[in-house]
A = this chain, B = another copy of it.
Amino acid sequence: MGVQEVQACLDSAHQRCSESGLRLTQKREQILRLMLEAEAPLSPYEVVDLYNAQAEQNMPPNSAYRILDFLAEANLVHKLNSANKYIACSHIACSHPHSASQFLICSQCKTVKEVMMEPKLLKEIQKNVSSAGFKMRHPSVELECLCGECSES
């Protein structure tokens, strides 16, 4: 993601936060920037290492956990439960609303692709869920895959 795009995301993030009364503090913004630039899923400890290397500071792990949780709550990053990692949302700067995401996770090289689910597909899944007496809490799906490159080799 280019510098301008990152900046656009940060601006948009600031706006969305202030609209909903959330505080996008300096640290949180720094971490969000880092996630946007990474464009790959990062664990809290990886975030710590990256941040400390870049900022020559010493963020404790619990801060990284807290900040990532905040960003996930604010829908600025997604939590990939199956990998215990976080990845920047690829639609922060978009203005139009989005359907749920499918995360395709290559179990070999760990790249992640976020694709949209058709509303119809989401509805079908939710139908299964509700007929079992459950309610979906987080309309996203993580799938264990092989990416194009890895499935060739």
Name A residues whose Cβ lies closer than 8 Å to a Cβ of B.
Answer: 81-83, 102, 104, 106-107, 113, 115, 117-118, 121, 124-125, 128-129, 132-138, 141-148, 151
CB-defined contacts of A137 to chain B, threshold 8 Å: 107, 144-146
Can you show 20 pairs from A to B with CB atoms below 8 A apart?
A81-B81, A81-B142, A82-B82, A82-B142, A102-B128, A102-B129, A104-B129, A104-B134, A106-B134, A113-B134, A117-B128, A121-B124, A125-B141, A125-B143, A129-B145, A133-B147, A134-B143, A134-B145, A134-B146, A137-B146
Contacts A107-B137, A136-B145, A142-B142 given; 4 further ones with Cβ under 8 A?
A124-B124, A134-B148, A134-B151, A135-B151
Q: Which of B81, B128, B133 contacts A82 (CB 8 A)?
A: B81
Total copies of this chain within the assembly = 2
Cross-chain contact B82 with A104 (CB below 8 angstroms): no
Central interface residue in A113, A125, A147, by most chain B CB within 10 Å: A125
Report A62 CB to chain B, min CB distance, Å. Answer: 20
Complex: chain B residue closest to A146, CB-CB: B135
How far, in angstroms, from A142 to B128 measured CA to CA in the complex? 13
CB-defined contacts of A125 to chain B, threshold 8 Å: 102, 121, 141, 143
